[in-house]
């Protein structure tokens, strides 16, 4: 058994310990503290879920925030 270390989480979010595996972590709990939104997101000020879209309809790409995570 070994404890979960920060380096584990940095490895694509995949952690395997003896008893628990982190399949993924979206990190939503950290977003409330964000003050460094990319400029395009600040200007966008829209909801990506409009019209039932599930990704950013501004860039038609995954949300730029993902690169900052």
Partner 1 sequence: MSDPVAQGVGLRVGDAAGGRRHSLPPRVHRFELHGVKLAFDAGSGTLLELDQAAWRVLGDYLAQGPEAPALRSPMPGMLTAAEEEARRELDRLRESGVLLSPVTLPARPEPVLKALCLHVAHRCQMSCSYCFASGGDYGRAAGSGLMSPATARAAVDFLLGSSPRVGRWAMDFFGGEPLLNWPVVRETILYAERRAASLGGQVRFTLTTNGLALTPARLAFLDQHGVDLIVSVDGRPAVHDAVRRTISGRPTWSRAVRAARLATSTRLLDVCGGAAVGPGGGGQDRSGDERPVRGARAGPTVWIRGTFTRRNLDFAQDALFLFHLGFSRVSLEPVCGGPPDLALRPEDVPYLAGQYELLARECAANGFRFYHFELDPTGGPCLSRRMAACGAGNEYLAVTPEGDLYVCHQLVGQEEFRVGDVWHGITRPEVGRKLWQHDVSSGQCADCWARFLCGGGCRAAAFFEHGEVGRPPSLECALQKKRWECALWLAARRRGRPG
**Residue 46: DSSP 8-state:** S
- Tell which residue, 69, 66, 65, has the closest CA to residue 38: 65
Decide: helix, strand or coil at residue 15.
strand
Q: What is the contact surface with partner 1 in residues (CB under 8 A)?
A: 1, 3-10, 13-14, 17-35, 41, 43-60, 62-63, 65-66, 68-69
Decide: helix, strand or coil at residue 42.
helix
The least distance separating partner 1 from the CB of residue 12, rounded to whole angstroms, comes to 8
The least distance separating partner 1 from the CB of residue 65, rounded to whole angstroms, comes to 5
The least distance separating partner 1 from the CB of residue 41, rounded to whole angstroms, comes to 8
């Amino acid at each position: 058994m070994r404890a979960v270390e920060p380096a584990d989480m940095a490895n694509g979010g995949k952690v395997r310990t003896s008893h628990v595996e982190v399949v993924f972590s979206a990190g939503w709990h950290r977003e409330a503290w964000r003050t460094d939104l990319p400029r395009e997101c600040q200007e966008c000020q829209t909801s990506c879920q409009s019209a039932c879209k599930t990704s950013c309809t501004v860039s038609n790409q995954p949300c730029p925030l993902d690169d900052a995570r």
